[in-house]
């Protein structure tokens, strides 16, 4: 029986008025709101998704996008099996887009004001136990395939990369900064005397974050003996360097953390955010003030930081269930 050839749908041409609004909104978010390229790509994808749904249904300008159309668009996405987090993000993007369009007098009313989207699932972040954190730091970072690495003396480059990997882990857990913030650090971001970092976070907001003695020791090893080994004419002021001497990128840092966590063997946690979650939770478990933790994390809303108090309560309940005779 002959197979049917798959028909590829032709891309929908976006009218000039809608394309202009799309581009103007992204320009506003980039220049005036200092949104990251990652966030801008998400906005662009979400708005384009709505426009390609709306155009065949008669919308040639923003005035053609009304509340019933927005509701059927969301319903169609929901029926396609899209995750609630993605649905929530897409509807939030459209609300921001149409609110901007109203301010720019591109529309007379904003239909998205009454648009309700599925609430995000409030998943509690995975948190490492203190003994897992300790084991992670006790294990020497590996930078080569196992092979004969145990019998050969490491090269100067391998030692430098091992020191860098240790520093990545120490700084992420000590400061609870995001991986993008970590790889953006320059040498002059450090104040070694005060043991603080100057971090540029989301929206180009600057904050100062403290770190402890273990991170200071890792910084000293890296700056004194290992960064000079990797440094070259491409290094510039970057604190963390890749194997070729250029600024370390976020993907490489994620790989270092994921490998260290995988080597623990008893956790499903992966990636830098696991260390950020764990640091925040451990601070609150040990009595840190919620607003101080908010400042360290760089959260604009205290409600976001309060998620970590929920984590602590869950851990408290688990301990109670295990230990209390009448639990």
pLDDT digits (tens, 9 = 90+) for 306-326: 777 766 666 666 666 776 676
d(CA 306, CA 291): 10
Helix (H, G, I), strand (E, B) or coil at 238: strand
- List residues with catalytic annotation: 178, 202, 273, 276, 299, 308
Give CB contacts under 8 A, 24+ apart, made by 182-185.
182/240, 182/250, 182/253, 182/272, 183/240, 183/247, 183/248, 183/249, 183/250, 183/253, 185/238, 185/239, 185/240
At residue 129's C-alpha, the angle toward residues 126 and 133, to 5°, is 105
Can you give the pLDDT at residue 7?
Answer: 40
What local confidence, expressed as pLDDT, does residue 296 receive?
A: 87
Q: Is the pLDDT of residue 4 over 50?
A: no
Q: What proportion of the chain, given as a percentage, has pLDDT over 70?
A: 86
Q: In this structure, what token pair is assigned to residue 231?
A: 């440094």
Domain with CATH 1.10.150.130 in the chain: 16-114
pLDDT digits (tens, 9 = 90+) for 208-261: 999 999 999 999 999 999 999 999 999 999 999 999 999 999 999 999 999 999
pLDDT for 107-157, tens place per residue? 999 998 888 766 655 555 678 888 899 999 987 666 544 444 455 788 999
- Quick: pLDDT tens for 268-289: 888 898 999 899 888 888 888 8
- What's the 3-state SS for 136-151? HHHCCCCCCCCCCCCC
Q: Give the span between the Cα atoms of 265 and 138, in whole angstroms.
A: 14
The pLDDT value recorded for residue 3 is: 43
The DSSP symbol for 247 reads: B
Q: Is 90 exceeded by the pLDDT of residue 99?
A: yes
| CATH number belonging to domain 130-323 | 1.10.443.10
The structure's pTM equals 0.63
pLDDT of residue 120: 55
List pLDDT tens digits, range 149-188.
455 788 999 999 999 999 999 999 999 999 999 999 999 9
Residue 89, helix vs strand vs coil: helix
| Crossing angle for the helix pair 37-54 and 67-79, to the nearest 10 degrees | 110
Query: Which pLDDT belongs to residue 38?
Result: 85
Instruction: Write out the residue limits of the CATH 1.10.443.10 domain(s) in the chain.
Output: 130-323
For residue 74, which of 64, 86, 62, 60 has the smallest C-alpha distance?
A: 86
DSSP 3-state percent helix, strand, coil across the chain (nearest 5): 60, 5, 35
Report the C-alpha dihedral over residues 149, 136, 247, 274, rounded to 10 degrees. 140
pLDDT of residue 27: 95
Say if CB 189 and CB 198 are below 8 A apart. Answer: yes
Q: Which two tokens stand for residue 7?
A: 């028909």
The pLDDT of residue 205 is: 83
CATH topology of domain 16-114: DNA polymerase; domain 1 (1.10.150)
């Amino acid at each position: 029986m002959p197979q049917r050839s798959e028909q590829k749908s032709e891309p929908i041409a976006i009218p000039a008025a809608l394309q202009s609004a799309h581009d103007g909104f992204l320009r506003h978010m980039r220049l005036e709101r200092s949104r990251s390229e990652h966030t801008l790509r998400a906005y662009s994808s979400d708005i384009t998704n709505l426009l390609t749904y709306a155009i065949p249904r008669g919308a040639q300008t923003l005035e053609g996008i009304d509340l019933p159309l927005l509701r059927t668009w969301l319903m169609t996405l929901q029926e396609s099996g899209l995750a609630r987090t993605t649905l929530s993000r897409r509807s939030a993007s459209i609300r921001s887009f149409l609110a901007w369009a109203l301010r720019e007098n591109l529309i007379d009313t904003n239909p998205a004001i009454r648009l309700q989207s599925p609430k995000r699932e409030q998943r509690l972040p995975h948190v490492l136990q203190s003994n897992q954190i300790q084991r992670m730091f006790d294990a020497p970072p590996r930078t080569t395939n196992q092979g004969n690495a145990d019998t050969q003396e490491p090269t100067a480059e391998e030692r430098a990369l091992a020191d860098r990997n240790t520093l990545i882990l120490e700084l992420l857990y000590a400061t609870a900064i995001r991986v993008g913030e970590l790889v953006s650090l320059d040498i002059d971001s450090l104040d070694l005397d005060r043991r603080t970092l100057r971090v540029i976070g989301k929206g180009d907001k600057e904050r100062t974050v403290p770190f402890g003695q273990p991170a200071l020791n890792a910084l000293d090893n890296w700056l004194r003996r290992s960064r000079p080994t990797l440094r070259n004419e491409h290094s510039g002021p970057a604190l963390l360097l890749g194997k070729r001497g250029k600024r370390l990128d976020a993907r490489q840092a994620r790989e270092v953390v994921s490998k260290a966590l995988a080597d623990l063997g008893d956790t499903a946690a992966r990636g830098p955010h696991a260390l950020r979650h764990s640091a925040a939770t451990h601070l609150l478990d040990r009595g840190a003030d919620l607003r101080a933790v908010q400042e360290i994390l760089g959260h604009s809303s205290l409600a976001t930081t309060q998620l970590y108090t929920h984590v602590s309560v869950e851990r408290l309940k688990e301990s109670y269930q295990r230990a209390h005779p009448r639990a």
